Amino acid sequence: MSYYNLEELEVYQLTESFSDEIWFIVAKWDYFASDTVGKQIVRSADSIGANIAEGYGRYHYKENRNFCYFSRGSIIETKGWLKKSQTRNLISEEQFNKLFEELQTIHLKLNAYLKFIGKSAVVNKEDK
């Protein structure tokens, strides 16, 4: 489907770094916070990259796009958990702003990747 390895995709690299960053932040929270909000934000952050990877591994444009849409949903979910983390004083406003900005970048890169997938599907369809 693509000439790139998954690990070479910038959006995937960004999601992996972001989810690791979330993990290390949550690992410092007390038990109650990490057991409630922490588990949710780690799962949603991990899901962003996991869905990109699963879609990439499907080798079909339509399925790849669908998993990227799931990934986009996880981005929105993670933004919600970030806001909840800030509201509950689990992260500082500075951390929130930095993480939210990183998610915005991931969101934009994912949309660009979706556009690339769409163009690739059209080009390959025309080649047949």
Domains of the chain: 6-120 (1.20.1440.60)
Across the chain, how many H-helices and E-strands are there?
Answer: 5, 0
pLDDT in tens, 15-65: 999 999 999 999 999 999 999 999 999 999 999 999 999 999 988 999 999
Q: Mutual orientation of helices 39-58 and 61-87 as an angle, nearest 10°? A: 170
| Tokens 């970030």 found at | 82
Q: What is the pLDDT of residue 125?
A: 60
What is the full DSSP assignment across 1-48? Answer: --SS-GGG-HHHHHHHHHHHHHHHHHTTS-HHHIIIIIHHHHHHHHHH
Q: What is the pLDDT of residue 119?
A: 79
Check if the beta carbon of residue 53 is closer than 8 Å to that of residue 4. Answer: no
Single-letter code of the amino acid located at 21:
E
The per-residue b/e assignment along 69-93, b for 16 or more CB within 10 angstroms, e otherwise, is eebbebbebbbebbeebbeeebbee
Taking residues 78-97, report their average pLDDT. Answer: 99
Question: By percentage, how much of the chain surpasses pLDDT 90?
Answer: 84
Q: What is the pLDDT of residue 126?
A: 44
Question: Cα 90 from chain centroid?
Answer: 21
Spatial CA neighbour of 97 closest among 107, 82, 109: 82
